[in-house]
Structure 1
Amino acid sequence: MKLRTTVRTTILDRSDVFVLWLFAVLAALVGVLSLISVVPAIVDLFGDDIPVTLSAAMTVPTDAATGSATILSGTFDRADLVVSGIDVGPRVALAGSMAATAVMTAVVAASIVAMCRAVLLGRPFVRSATWLVATASITLIAGSLIGAGLDTVAMFSIVTALNPDPMDAVFPFMSEYDFAPLLIGLVLAVVATAFQLGQKMQRDTEGLV
């Protein structure tokens, strides 16, 4: 008796195909735009003047209101500045932080495109999609930590350059970390594990008839 291997593929209707193509195109655009837009931003960092956003400890003047309402008290906690006289080190750190964010976005976008392509081909658990999702997970976790570290170094250097006396600083040093990329990276790690299990199940279902 001859044995024949059959491959079970997923049947998609037109709406499914349209949605998958839409997601793939949008993800590709976001990934490409993130890489393109970061280039001029990094170039601007090495000019004479650079834009930065710092934590601020400033009081809102009570006479700022000119209408019927009055300001009793208020503070600013952020300040958008254009500064000059910054050393190369903080500029490089800021550039690295921006590059890490752009690379994270591009890798996640590439993983979305790969998953959409795999589903469109009827084989959602191919090895390439699994590896790309795993790579996106590692990139998000490592990139968010590296980017936050570089940004912290840059902000500390800039704040120190603006006011070396921490007791009389209008712009106090504050370090912040966005946990969203880290959590998304952990979710993608779980998805990559599920894809790996699905890949094994897909091989098992390529049964003998």
Structure 2
Amino acid sequence: MSTATPTRVRRAASLAEKTILGFIAGAAASIAVVEVVLLAQRVVGILVGPVSLTIPTTAPLDAGIRGATFDRVTVEVATLSAGGRTALVAAAVLGALLTVGICLVVAWLCVRVFRGKPFVRSATVGIASVAILVLLVALGVPTLEGIAQAEATAEIGSDLLPVFLVEIDPAPVGWTFALAVVVAAFEIGQRLQRDQDGLV
């Protein structure tokens, strides 16, 4: 009786773990599909409709309330140039690629953990690819949006808006380095797993 109880507990824990992994993998895959659908909608909206852009101003603007100013304005441009729309489409695609990439890697890692062998080359390559995508999004999306904003500024012709401005958040660069460390850890785990399989 006492021997069977721990066995049942271990089986129940293993079943719960596998259920959770399956749920996470399914949720990640579903999010990836939804992101692709939303990307298609965003691309269509950028290509065929008026484009709304939030642009920093060259100087604070009076908000009409004492002591309050605006440092950004949202403009809607119906006749944005093809170059501006292309830049926005590229930024949207790049951002969606990161989301889809993360979801696919998470789903694949869940499958590998489910099988008991998470340290495989495909998982390492997947994490490395996500790290590269994070860096590309951190640098590429603000640059592409800056190009689109510059096109909108030229279309509007206002001195209150900058000719070209790119604002880059350094935080994703730090995430890239963190993921690079994870990739190195997976490389070590991969070698240890191969050695263990060789011993067996």
Q: TM-score, normalised by structure 2?
A: 0.83
Summarize the Cα distance change of 1:161–1:187 in structure 2 as closer, same or farther, 3 Å threshold: same
CA separation of 1:149 and 1:162: change in aligned 2, threshold 3 A: same
Deviations 1:142-196 (A, max 9, x none): 23322222111111221232125x3xx1x34542123343332322222111111
Once residues 92 and 173 of structure 2 are traced to their aligned partners in structure 1, the CA distance between those partners, rounded to angstroms, is 16
Secondary structure of 1:77's aligned partner: strand
Say whether the 8 Å CA contact 1:23–1:113 is kept in structure 2.
yes
TM-score by length of 1: 0.79
Q: Show the counterpart of 1:40.
A: 41
Q: AA paired with 1:32?
A: V
Letter in 1 for 2:126: L
Aligned counterpart, 2:98:
104
The answer as to whether partners of 2:119 and 2:193 remain within 8 angstroms in 1 is yes
Question: Residue type of the partner of 1:61?
Answer: G
Cα 1:177–1:30 change in 2 (3 A) is farther
Q: Aligned equivalents of 1:48 and 1:205: distance in 2?
A: 58
Q: Which residue is equivalent to 1:148?
A: 142
> 1:189 matched to which residue of 2?
180
Structure 1: gaps of 5 or more residues: 1-10, 63-71
Secondary structure class of the residue paired with 1:46: helix
Q: CA RMSD in A?
A: 2.1
SS in 2 for 1:206: helix
| Contact residue 143 and residue 166 of structure 2 kept, 8 A | no
Partners of 1:101 and 1:144 within 8 A in 2: no
Instruction: Tell me by how many angstroms 1:77 deviates.
Output: 2.4
Where 1:124 maps in the other structure, the secondary structure is coil
Query: Residue 141 of structure 1 contacts residue 186 of structure 1 at CA under 8 Å; is this kept in 2?
Result: no
- Secondary structure of the residue that 2:67 maps to in structure 1? coil
Report the more deviating stretch, 129-138 or 51-60.
51-60
Greater length-normalized contact order (CA 8 Å, ≥ 6 residues apart) = 1
- Code of the residue aligned with 1:199 in structure 2: it is Q
Secondary structure of the structure 1 residue equivalent to 2:48 = coil
What percentage of aligned pairs have identical amino acids? 28
Structure 1 CA distance, aligned partners of 2:128 and 2:135? 11
Correspondences of 1:69-88 after superposition (within 5 Å): 72-88=66-82
